[in-house]
Chain A
């Protein structure tokens, strides 16, 4: 699985949605992505990619695409 597939799967598993639905997904765009869902997502991403996200990155991660951008700062290529 490449990194893009991994991230898609983390989003889909965390929010219980299909992988197609992850594209363009935004914070509070679905009921599951509330503040609780956000922290679950952050923990899942950290586990999957074995990184620790900075506070600024956690509060900036407002969409699926933004998550990709942020992860590239941690040397995770997409």
Chain B
């Protein structure tokens, strides 16, 4: 390509990326904007990119006068527990699927795929029916159990692909060097799969953090509500407290952002691992 042509192509390329980024981030921007807009300006100023006056009243209200801190704590407990339990289970399961042949493997993989095929809405009633006599409705542990169950299959496949990317030779070398298979797994394979585990942890955490459907159906009391359910409490029969709702939303973004900030170093490696032979 000639120089001006290449320039045009570059500009077009960057412009397309810019369009996408603006499109993807605009709702977040709007969230932030509404959260700092005083109630009296919300409808009176028309559509403006930034209000003429900003206040933090909504944040103050959400943090001090609503149940939001409780929802937030519940969400933290549920999401972190789910993420860690799923990652541990998926690592062990993914390793087995990657390295061993065992009876029934084909059917187990098939069943795990099957669980991913149905819309979750269909399963809510039966799950409620199962959990209710066990006393697991309206409890965080019940929610964790359900989230773990629904995230393990996908996470296992994800972890399996990371283990597949690590040559078998490495653990064989370790076993010849004098390690048991489990020691080889722990000392050689796990450290190399950290990026994959971080990626899994991140995916599951966000999935659990923003899950609404089950949380809404299985939890009825305020004590065990997670924050997506809590957000709905800002919608009353007669009005929607947009300002407070958005403030709560902004606060809810923080842990997810922090979480990804901490794991992003591994995540980038993790998502590209296996793409090229190391």
Q: Are A and B part of the same complex?
A: no
